[in-house]
């Protein structure tokens, strides 16, 4: 795939590399839903005593991926809608790192099927997704290749460097465990730069590296070329049209090591706390279910008129009163201001301080600069003005504006014909749209609806479809 589109989203307020471990709260509020998972099958009853690592619920639609208790305590099912609350917490401290731990995974480290089951039970399998659908991968499936990525380009989400720093042995053992699950398939390790110290350390440490291929993100780290679907296409892993490619972030590989080397459940996450109204944006290590109000308390420059987003600013979702704690897929919290006063004569400004994808502001004459983010960044919602910017920026080579038009008139077949299925779910079209149309949400929902109601598109290889769309676009 020849990379196209993308944008260097440059916003002020990204997290520093500091990782702070928060002490246990008074209670955990564990959401039963996250972006891709729905833990609808409960395994505990109201008032049960639970122990650390115990399965609280599973997602029957996602190979029974479990929701695990990060700490022991008393489970409450009726305290908070859509959550399991754990009170009277008993959180065992993580034992100190064992200096005797081997650097490598023993050759006779067990059967692949047994290891896959253990990864599922200990909560590490939830990090493995199908690069085409972004859903949890089948633990009994056979991928044609695996991508492991240390790169997160979406502004404000937890950075790969913060997750990997100081964890080189865990990363190397995790990669070796991953390799032991496969037969001959290559693992593509994606780094910002293959000459980085981290890449060299991995190459020096890993045992036999013919199976590990180092790759860089195309287009000089421009968003969204860290996206799993785009990486698979860029690496040429989707040639036949039906290949299964697994995608695992670096945090997932470290979780593999935790589960298989240490036999411990994966119940904590390294998340970012960032955005323009966070005093000192940083990374935090927290158990799943940590109350969000406790995380942000005292860390903001203002307490009113703020919006908290679960995840990055392009693909995250606004946190409402329906979510009280960190969910199991959380990569960060982004906090931004919601201005209450309309900007006077905003239309008169020449835009020296506004970056613009369309190069229509005078800021185009300035050197690259970080932009201040607020909920009014792109003005107000309007109908599509047919500017075509979403088509130019879309890295998947599809036409979000035309798909939007067909979805608006409920012409699902036409949306399918325009290959909505190729959407890589990056959110860039929504971000740059001057009319603030939520194309991302529309396309992601339509992708699911088309797959359920119409099935796969009349087969045309992905590369060809994207190419044809680009040619139509140029014409």
Answer left, alpha or beta for residue 351, where phi above 0 means left and psi between -120 and 50 means alpha: left
Instruction: Tell me if 323 contacts ligand SF4 by CB under 6 A.
Output: no
Give strand ranges (E) for 22-144. 28-31, 41-42, 49-50, 55-59, 65-68, 72-76, 83-90, 129-130
Task: List the Cα angle 432/356/389 in 5-degree steps.
Answer: 45
The residues, ordered by sequence, that sit 6+ positions from 358 with a Cβ below 8 Å of its Cβ are 387, 389, 432, 434
CB of 435 to ligand SF4, least distance (A): 4
Chain-centroid distance of CA 184 in Å reads: 27
Chain-centroid distance of CA 208 in Å reads: 30
* 246 neighbors 128 (Cβ within 8 angstroms): yes
Find the part of the chain contacting ligand SF4 (CB under 6 A) among 276-284, 410-418, 432-440, 461-469: 432-440
Instruction: Tell me if 70 contacts ligand SF4 by CB under 6 A.
Output: no
* Beta-sheet pairing, 145-149 with 245-249: parallel
CB of 9 or CB of 423, closer to ligand SF4: 423
CB of 306 or CB of 394, closer to ligand SF4: 394
* 41 neighbors 185 (Cβ within 8 angstroms): no
Q: Which residues in the 370-429 window bind ligand SF4 by CB under 6 A?
A: 384-390, 393-396, 398, 400-401, 404, 423-429
CB of 108 to ligand SF4, least distance (A): 44
* 207 neighbors 109 (Cβ within 8 angstroms): no
Instruction: Tell me if 446 contacts ligand SF4 by CB under 6 A.
Output: no
* Beta-sheet pairing, 245-249 with 129-130: antiparallel
CB of 28 or CB of 398, closer to ligand SF4: 398
CB of 39 or CB of 225, closer to ligand SF4: 225
CB of 231 to ligand SF4, least distance (A): 13
- Cα separations in angstroms, 269 against 11, 272, 325: 24, 10, 12
CB of 292 or CB of 399, closer to ligand SF4: 399
Query: Interhelix angle for 250-261 vs 168-180, to 10°?
Result: 80
Instruction: Tell me if 443 contacts ligand SF4 by CB under 6 A.
Output: yes
Instruction: Tell me if 275 contacts ligand SF4 by CB under 6 A.
Output: no
Instruction: Tell me if 450 contacts ligand SF4 by CB under 6 A.
Output: no
CB of 379 or CB of 388, closer to ligand SF4: 388
Say how far apart CA 460 and CA 448 lie, in whole Å.
19
CB of 290 to ligand SF4, least distance (A): 30
CB of 9 to ligand SF4, least distance (A): 12
CB of 87 or CB of 472, closer to ligand SF4: 472
Radius of gyration of the chain from Cα atoms?
23
CB of 32 or CB of 443, closer to ligand SF4: 443
Instruction: Tell me if 241 contacts ligand SF4 by CB under 6 A.
Output: no
What count of other Cβ atoms lies within 10 Å of the Cβ of residue 401?
A: 21
Instruction: Tell me if 434 contacts ligand SF4 by CB under 6 A.
Output: yes
Q: Which of 14, 21, 9, 29 is nearest to 431 (CA)?
A: 9
Instruction: Tell me if 344 contacts ligand SF4 by CB under 6 A.
Output: no
Instruction: Tell me if 3 contacts ligand SF4 by CB under 6 A.
Output: no
DSSP string, 272-293: EEESTTBSS-EEEEEETT-BHH
How many residues of this chain interact with ligand SF4, rule: CB under 6 A?
29
CB of 282 to ligand SF4, least distance (A): 28
Q: Which residues of 350-387 are buried (b: 16+ CB within 10 A; e: fewer)?
A: eeeebbbbeeebebeeeeeeebebbebbbeeeeebeeb
CB of 445 to ligand SF4, least distance (A): 12
CB of 268 or CB of 420, closer to ligand SF4: 420
Instruction: Tell me if 159 contacts ligand SF4 by CB under 6 A.
Output: no
CB of 400 to ligand SF4, least distance (A): 4
Which positions lie near ligand SF4, rule CB under 6 A? 384-390, 393-396, 398, 400-401, 404, 423-429, 433-435, 437, 439-440, 443
């Amino acid at each position: 795939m020849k990379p196209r589109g993308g944008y260097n989203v440059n916003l002020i307020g990204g997290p520093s590399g500091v990782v702070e471990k928060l002490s246990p709260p008074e209670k955990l509020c564990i959401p039963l839903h996250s972006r891709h998972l729905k833990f609808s099958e409960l395994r505990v009853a109201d008032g049960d005593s639970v122990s650390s690592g115990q399965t609280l619920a599973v997602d029957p639609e996602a190979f029974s991926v479990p929701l695990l208790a990060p700490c022991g305590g008393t489970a409450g099912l009726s305290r908070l809608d859509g959550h399991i609350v754990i009170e009277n917490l008993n959180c065992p401290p993580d034992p100190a790192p064992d200096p005797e731990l081997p650097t490598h995974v023993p050759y006779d480290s067990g059967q692949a099927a047994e290891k896959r089951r253990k990864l599922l039970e200990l909560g590490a399998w939830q990090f493995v997704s199908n690069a085409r659908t972004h859903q949890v991968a089948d633990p009994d499936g056979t991928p044609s290749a695996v991508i492991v990525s240390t790169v997160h380009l979406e502004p404000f989400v937890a950075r790969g460097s913060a997750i990997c720093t100081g964890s080189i042995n865990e990363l190397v053992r995790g990669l070796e465990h991953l390799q032991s699950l496969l037969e001959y398939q290559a693992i593509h390790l994606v780094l910002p730069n293959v000459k980085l110290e981290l890449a060299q350390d991995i190459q020096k440490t890993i045992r036999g590296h013919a199976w590990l291929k180092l790759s860089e993100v195309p287009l000089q780290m421009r968003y969204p070329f860290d996206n799993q679907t785009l990486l698979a296409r860029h690496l040429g892993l989707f040639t036949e049209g039906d290949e299964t490619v697994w995608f695992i972030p670096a945090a997932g590989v470290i979780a593999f090591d935790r589960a298989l080397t240490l036999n411990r459940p994966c119940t904590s996450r390294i998340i970012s706390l960032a955005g323009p109204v966070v005093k000192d944006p940083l990374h935090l290590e927290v158990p799943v279910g940590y109350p969000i109000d406790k995380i942000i308390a005292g860390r903001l420059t203002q307490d009113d008129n703020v919006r908290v987003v679960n995840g990055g600013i392009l693909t995250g979702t606004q946190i409402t009163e329906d979510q009280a704690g960190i969910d199991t897929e959380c990569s960060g919290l982004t906090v931004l201001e919601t201005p209450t006063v309309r900007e006077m004569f905003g239309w008169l400004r020449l835009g020296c301080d506004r970056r613009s994808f369309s190069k229509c502001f005078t800021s185009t004459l300035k050197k690259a600069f970080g932009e201040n983010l607020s909920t009014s960044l792109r003005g107000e919602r309007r109908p599509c003005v047919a500017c075509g910017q979403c088509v130019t920026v879309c890295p998947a080579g599809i036409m979000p504006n035309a798909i939007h038009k067909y979805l608006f008139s409920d012409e699902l077949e036409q949306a399918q014909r325009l290959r909505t299925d190729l959407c890589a779910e990056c959110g860039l079209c929504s971000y740059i749209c001057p009319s603030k149309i939520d194309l991302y949400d529309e396309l992601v929902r339509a992708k699911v609806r088309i797959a359920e109601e119409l099935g796969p598109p009349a087969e045309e290889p992905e590369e060809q479809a994207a190419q044809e769309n680009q040619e139509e676009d140029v014409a």
